[in-house]
Amino acid sequence: MQKKLIILLVFLFLFRLLFGLCSEFWFDDELQIYLIGLKSYTTGSWPYYGPDIVYTNTQIAGGLQGLLVSIPFYISATPEAPIVFLNLLSFFSLSFLGYYVTKRTSKIPSWLVYTLILITPWAMHYSTRVVNPSYALVFAIPFFISLLELLPIYSKKIMNPNLAFLILGISTTSIMQLHMSWVLLLPLTGFVFLFRIRKKLIKQIKTIGIYLLGLFIGILTLIPTLLLTPNEGPSTLSNVLFNPENWSNLPIIVLRFFSFAGNEIPYVLGGNTEERLSIVQDQIWSSPFVIFLLLVGFLQIGLFIYLLIKPSASKEFTRVKLLVIASLVLLYCSFFFSIKGPASHTFYIFFPLAICYAFYCYEWLVGKYKPALKILKAIAISSLIFHLGLGLYNLEHKSLYKNREKVTRAIEKMDYKELGKRRTDEWGYGF
């Protein structure tokens, strides 16, 4: 069984990698993240700033994003290098999440757990292509696993508490250089310390020290930016403002949170109905699986919401539900201070928590209705076929291979501008 699982994981890695190579490359957000690393590599400069925040023409401080894209070029100066490196990182991170879920739930076969996690639409849409939420997920998974281990949810712990605190720190300051949603990790960490107030003072000092060490390790790639002369451009704090218009967004936040663990086909297919239909029509053979996943996606969200309200006999499940509710409240409150509304990618770092919660729901469903296991298997197979069709479409219309020669030329000439200009070239500040 172990050998079969390894073979399956190798297949899933290759499948995800090929899908990533076929995914969107030329859209501005993806291209700009790629250019941050390419600029660092071709100019031999340190990437002092990372992702752009286009709403305010600002940049997230820190070199981590640029390094994660540029380092693969030093290993192999090929256009595919950053995509391959990202897929390695995300595969191992998602596999860690799969391993954790198998340890916390028991009614779903391990092979099915790994398959569903690795090929669910939101795990395929981000984490396979070079864009900053893909990298944020790599660090969000160990953060949320550590959070679950440190909160009073499980009587039997899997992870050493000291290691968990170290991971909390490293993940927080790493995501801080990748995505603005990092601030949401601070209140969650605060919950952990709140529940440890009754611990002995010496233990509290030790855990705080370990957490601070983790923060320092993660912040190492930010230090060069802090030593720079302050950026002439506006601060990222300009993205924080009181936005009372977000008061009505709670239902949207709830639906989008649970969609992370479901099969949200419309979002993955495209930004409008016309684009979605054109993809399905181009790959008409995959349409039955698209329809099946679309219907299942609605049912999954219904199940997740129903079980969130329904009392549970399992203490662990109840505690996980309380964490989910607390997270939803946190998200709702946070958007009162955000320049942007609750688009899914703005809080994608909560994907691991949504997944963990979803498998408790699946476990309940399988325990109550045994045929539900066959449905989960059908979802896994349908998702593979759906992403195969989507990948074939993207290969021709959106992927790197539409104009790979342009990227190759930029690498060979060691001039990132052969591929495109950074937004900051026009702004006159930043990296």
Confidence of residue 422 (pLDDT cuts 50, 70, 90): very high
C-beta atoms surrounding 251 within 10 Å: 8
How far apart, in whole angstroms, are the C-alpha atoms of residue 37 and residue 79?
A: 11
Confidence of residue 232 (pLDDT cuts 50, 70, 90): low
Q: Residue 206 above 80 pLDDT?
A: yes
Q: Across the strands, what pairs with 59? A: 52
Q: What is the pLDDT of residues 7-64, one digit of tens each?
A: 999 999 999 999 999 999 999 999 999 999 999 999 999 999 999 988 788 899 999 9
Q: Tokens 């990748």, residue?
A: 178
Q: What is the DSSP letter of 427?
A: H
Report whether pLDDT(209) > 70.
yes
3-state secondary structure 146-186: HHHHHCCCCCCCCCCHHHHHHHHHHHHHHHCCCCHHHHHHH
Q: How far apart are CA 257 and CA 262, in angstroms?
A: 9
pTM of the entire structure? 0.94
Band (426; pLDDT cuts 50, 70, 90): confident
CB 274 within 8 A of CB 371: no
User: 48-77: buried (b, 16+ CB within 10 Å) or exposed (e) per residue?
Assistant: bbbbbbeebbbbbbbbbbbbbbbebbeeee
Backbone phi and psi for residue 63, each to the nearest 5 degrees, phi listed first: -95, -5
Residue 202 has pLDDT above 90, yes or no: no
For tokens 């919950």, name the residue.
191
* Per-residue pLDDT tens digits for 392-417: 999 999 999 999 999 999 999 999 99
Q: Residues 63, 36: contact at Cβ < 8 Å?
A: no
Q: Provide the pLDDT confidence category of residue 235 given band limits of 50, 70 and 90.
A: low
CA torsion 358-379-95-301 (nearest 10°) is -20
- CB under 8 Å to 64, separation ≥6 — which residues? 50, 135, 174, 177, 178, 221, 222
State how far the Cα of 295 lies from the Cα of 293, in Å rounded to an integer. 5
Give phi and psi for 57, each to the nearest 5.
55, 50
